[in-house]
Amino acid sequence: MSWTELVGGLLVIAGMPFFILGTLGLLRFPDVYTRLHALSKADNVGLGLVCVGLGIQSGSPAMMLKLLLIWVLMLVASATGAGLIARTALARGIRPWSP
Amino acid sequence: MGLVGQVFDALLAIALVWLAWQATRAADLFRAVVSFIVFGLLMAVAWVRLEAPDIALAEAAIGAGATGALLLSALDRLAPRRGRSWARVWRADARTWVLWVPAVMALAGALTAAAWQLPAPGLGAVATGALEQSGVDHAVTAVLLNFRALDTLLEIGVLVLAAVAVWSMGPAPAASAPVMPSPTLPMLGRTLFPVFVLVAAYLLWRGSHAPGGAFPAGAVLGAGGILMLLAGAQPWIRSAEHGPWRAILSAGFAVMLFAAIVGALAGGAFFEYPAAIASHAILVLEVTAGMSIALLLFAVYLRGEPHPAADTDRQRC
């Protein structure tokens, strides 16, 4: 096994807990704002690790750049989407959860 | 990979059936629409598993993306309505259980039996064998724009009809302002639109030798237009300027029909291009079809015939 496969595989595996924790947050957090917080942060870190890992595994700079572009687009889209959902929820009068 | 792949496929199939049921029978319409969008995304994954990335691209962009946005905006304009409870669904629709469920099961059984009897390798070998005469290096593009170009012509025809039907419903309603305007959305639209154009051009160029082509490219460009519309840009199609837009809307269908008829008049069959110019003909068809598809999806999303807005001094994009 070459070092690119090893490092790439480790990065992809390192990304998995972020997805699991993000999903756990989506299922267990009390209201829409905290759920957005869990999803838009954790999942994007996980996706970044997976993209970098796959890019290193592919061994081609062009593929690496395409995967990084996908990650950057996802970051921008999910940040905007999360902001829109939170704003709409606020405007509809959904109050943030307080313990 | 064998066992893991089989388990994954089985889960995918179960999830697809469940989501299809949710999309058609869910008591809550919002839930139904979201189920439909997720169904489109998982369907794209299923196409990837079947090694058909071309269809996966089109399914994700058109089935989940453009149709999902259309359904959500339609939902926004519907009067809020009390959802049907599950009990009522089960009780009131006796006809569903007596008539439709057996009929659908019988149809599914017949289709499965028919699919089972298809010749095993299919027509893949024939298409690959004739690839040299088609003018392109990618078998799917050769099938879509040369061997079975008639199917593509009719598909674009369906889109043109849909746009005509939507525009004939009446003038386009003014875009509803968001409940709480977000500064990031117009910014996102402006920043990302060049990326949409770039990706569409890339997919169009890729179509000649790899998965891509007019439908995914058109869908991506159309989605970019829809994003601009959502971000508050004024649609730039106005009745005073209908001329050129109508031309582009119909160009894909018209140019394909023209190519088919010229081929027939030149002594060949319907849609038979001379081998010498086949590659150029397909390039022209692909570019016009891609632009038409993009604008047609956008035109459908306008939800009516565009008209000169009163506030023409607003930003035009």
B184 touches chain A (CB under 8 A): yes
Which residues form the domain of B305?
134-317
pLDDT, greater one: B312 or A77: A77
Q: Could A84 and B182 be called an inter-chain contact, meaning their C-beta atoms sit closer than 8 Å? A: yes
Is residue B270 situated within a structural domain? yes
Is residue B280 situated within a structural domain? yes
Distance of CA A4 to the CA centre of its chain: 23
- Nearest by CB to B185, from A73, A84, A90: name it: A84
Percent of chain B clearing pLDDT 90 (strictly above): 18
Structural element, H or E, at residue B257: helix B242-265
Counting the structural domains of chain B, the total is 1
Is residue B299 situated within a structural domain? yes
pTM of the model: 0.79
Q: What type of residue sits at position B180?
A: M
pLDDT digits (tens, 9 = 90+) for A23-75: 999 999 999 899 998 888 899 999 999 999 999 998 889 999 999 999 999 99
**pLDDT grade, residue B82 (50/70/90)?**
low
In whole angstroms, give the CA distance from residue B199 to residue B196: 5
Structural tokens at position B248: 């582009």
Q: Which of residues 246-305 of B touch A (CB under 8 A)?
A: none
Q: Could B188 and A77 be called an inter-chain contact, meaning their C-beta atoms sit closer than 8 Å? A: yes
In whole angstroms, give the CA distance from residue A52 to residue B181: 35
Distance from the Cα of A63 to chain B's closest Cα (Å) equals: 14
Q: Could A80 and B182 be called an inter-chain contact, meaning their C-beta atoms sit closer than 8 Å? A: yes
ipTM of the complex: 0.82
Which range is least confidently modeled, A6-20, B80-94, B103-117, B300-314? B80-94
